Amino acid sequence: MLQKDVKLDNICKTWLLEKHIDFLKSFGKERNQYESNMMEFLRMSGMYWGLTALHLINNGQIPKEEEIFEYIKSCEHNNGGYSPAPGHDPHLLYTLSAVQIACLLNRESELPIEKIVQYVSSLQLKDGSFTGDKWGEIDTRYSFCALACLSLLGKLNEIDLAKSVEFIKSCQNFDGGFGSRPGAESHGGLIYCCVGALSIAGRLDIVDADTLGWWLAERQLPSGGLNGRPEKLPDVCYSWWVFSTLNILGRDHWIDKEQLKNFILASQDNEGGGFSDRPGDEPDPFHTLFGIAALSLMSYDKILPIDPTYCLPKTVINRLGLKPQTLS
Ligand code: FPP
Ligand code: ZN
């Protein structure tokens, strides 16, 4: 089988903590105004990525908390959904991001919880699947968003959970993995979504942990990095999608952690901080969160512990009294 990979020779792998803090604090400010406008369509998620990463490496400290909460409020819609920026359409992805940010700020109880619940449950279809918004695209990533969002608000009982699980099961493939819809190929990102949703639902019993664990462990390449599917290049974000799933399944020792750390550290930007998808590319908050989050799962340096199911700090998940299922 064709294997694509990168070479890590002569790449600096020193942990650049202070630079990452500076990178995350300055993102979205004047320095990045141009990119910031270009990225308006996903700003709410961008804030979740950046703030979660900052929380993990900055002793749980997030600056400008009031301003951030005001921003969330400015993206609220009458139907209970949230948009990525004011004036855009609401979507389940950004509704989850808004709830995640509110949880990080310990202010989820100030959200219009009943309206959010109504919005999320209105997106569930008869077969248990979820659409992302009123336009009707079905994808297992939205199943994760719905279950994560409602469970963070203590409202998981407001949807048909058994049907949600049934739909996810219908997306399971012969290789143990999951895709976006029934019959779609297994994909690292969607496997995280499906296993994460099953972990929230307490239904990991339907996963074939050995077969799936094998497929996930096969994602590690000689560089130490993980890819999302066979024949793809390694990418730092799959250090989260794939590795956190192995962690949930109790099989994270099936890959070489030292090699994975090495690949993630090689993907730092030595100049301005932050992480990119792979060594030498431009850093961004998305890959910065997932690089730091994967390092957290490997107890690296003083990074605060993260929950593998919710991708939020453990302290937040404990405060909410949530106990997502994991296997040993
Ligand atoms: C790769 O997508 C990633 C995924 C499919 C996972 C998406 C995950 C969510 C929407 C859940 C988000 C929530 C948390 C807590 C992190 P891609 O389209 O970039 O895939 P490619 O690498 O194949 O291009
Ligand atoms: Zn990526």
Q: Where are the domains of the chain?
A: 17-320
The answer to whether 245 and 6 have CB atoms below 8 angstroms apart is: no
| Averaged pLDDT for residues 62-83 | 95
CATH for 17-320 (3.40.50.300, 1.50.10.20, 1.25.40.10, 3.40.640.10): 1.50.10.20
Distance CA 97, CA 145 (A): 9
Distance between alpha carbon 181 and the CA centroid of its chain, in Å?
Answer: 19
Is residue 264 lining ligand 1, measured as CB closer than 6 Å?
A: no
Residue 284: helix, strand or coil by DSSP?
strand
Distance CA 297, CA 305 (A): 7
User: What secondary structure letter does DSSP report for 255?
Assistant: S
Residue 260: helix, strand or coil by DSSP?
helix
The answer to whether 327 and 320 have CB atoms below 8 angstroms apart is: no
pLDDT at 155 over 50: yes
The candidate with the shortest Cα–Cα distance to 233, out of 167, 199, 302, 280, is: 280
| Mean predicted lDDT score pLDDT of the chain | 95
Summarize pLDDT for 229-271 with one digit per residue, the tens.
Answer: 999 999 999 999 999 999 999 999 999 999 999 999 999 999 9
Which ligand is closest to the CA of 287, given by its number? 2
The larger pLDDT score, comparing residue 89 to residue 32, is at: 89
Q: Residue 67 contacts by C-beta under 8 Å, 6 or more apart in sequence?
A: none
Taking the CA atoms of 12, 13, 19 and 24 in sequence, report the sign of the dihedral they define: positive
> pLDDT at position 27, please?
75
The larger pLDDT score, comparing residue 183 to residue 13, is at: 183
| Averaged pLDDT for residues 20-37 | 71
Band of residue 36 on the pLDDT scale cut at 50, 70, 90 = low
Is residue 144 lining ligand 1, measured as CB closer than 6 Å?
A: yes
pLDDT at 288 over 90: yes
The answer to whether 207 and 259 have CB atoms below 8 angstroms apart is: no
Q: Nearest C-alpha to atom 13 of ligand 1 is from which residue?
A: 145
The answer to whether 20 and 256 have CB atoms below 8 angstroms apart is: no
Of 55, 99, 192, best ligand 1 pocket probe by most atoms within 8 Å of the beta carbon: 192
